[in-house]
Amino acid sequence: MSEQALKIGVLISGSGTNLQAIIDAIDEGRLNCEVVSVLSSREGAYGIERAIEAGIDAHVMARADYDDPYVADAKIVEIMDAAGVDYLVMAGYMRKLTPVVLDAYPNRVLNLHPALLPSFKGAHAIVDAWERGVKVTGVTVHFANEDYDMGPIIAQRAVEIYESDTIDTLEERIHDVEHVLYPEVLQLLAEGRIAIDDEGKVHIK
């Protein structure tokens, strides 16, 4: 990879499958990024083991750290600034970021959402889409801002819901798409091909 690899910090809360997809894409030469720090909002998250195995600087926040979310986010900024990150990447991070982080990295915090925003916002998007009976759902990558799941959309990919699907098979296929789309978007960032206009819309060069 080039010495100009984009430096990213990854925020997780769970198993870290999207983190692993990013690590794999880097290792395979498909993604010109370097994961310089991983932070988990939960103790015992398997994603931390993935980070350690890959030789990545890893941090864990305890539940008590979030008693004051502004103090917690200030700690996140301190850790990520020390690592020299260019972008923050939320990969299954289950806490809402405050302006402390968002203002430190304006239009440089990415989020991955398992639905086609603005439909099915929130933490239960896959189940909500399934229960609503829609025939197409999908995955959205967007910049995070103070409006939950409402930041500028970077990319979306549809996932058709089949008659033969169960909620488990649908969730698996959505995650499969996430693991492809997120590294693709990060590569666009690494190539300097993503821009936001004055109206807050994202354009791919």
> Can 113 be counted among the known catalytic residues?
yes
Whether 2 shows a pLDDT value over 60: the answer reads no
What pLDDT digit, counting tens, does each position of 12-31 carry? 999 999 999 999 999 999 99
What pLDDT does 161 receive? 98
Residues in the chain: 205
Active-site position among 113, 124, 175, 203: 113
What is the mean pLDDT of the segment spanning 50-56?
98
Separation of CA 111 from chain center: 4
On average, the pLDDT of the chain sits at 96
Q: Which tens digit of pLDDT belongs to each residue from 70-129?
A: 999 999 999 999 999 999 999 999 999 999 999 999 999 999 999 999 999 999 999 999
Q: Which residues pair with 72 in a beta bridge?
A: none
Alpha carbon distance 197, 200 (integer Å): 5
User: Which tens digit of pLDDT belongs to each residue from 29-51?
Assistant: 999 999 999 999 999 999 999 99
Q: What HEC string does 149-200 produce?
A: CCCCEEEEEEEECCCCCCHHHHHHHHHHHHHHHHHHHHHHHHCCCEEECCCC
**pLDDT value of residue 148:** 86
The position carrying tokens 């990854």 is 10
pLDDT in tens, 116-125: 999 999 999 9
* pTM of the model as a whole: 0.95
Confidence of residue 131 (pLDDT cuts 50, 70, 90): very high
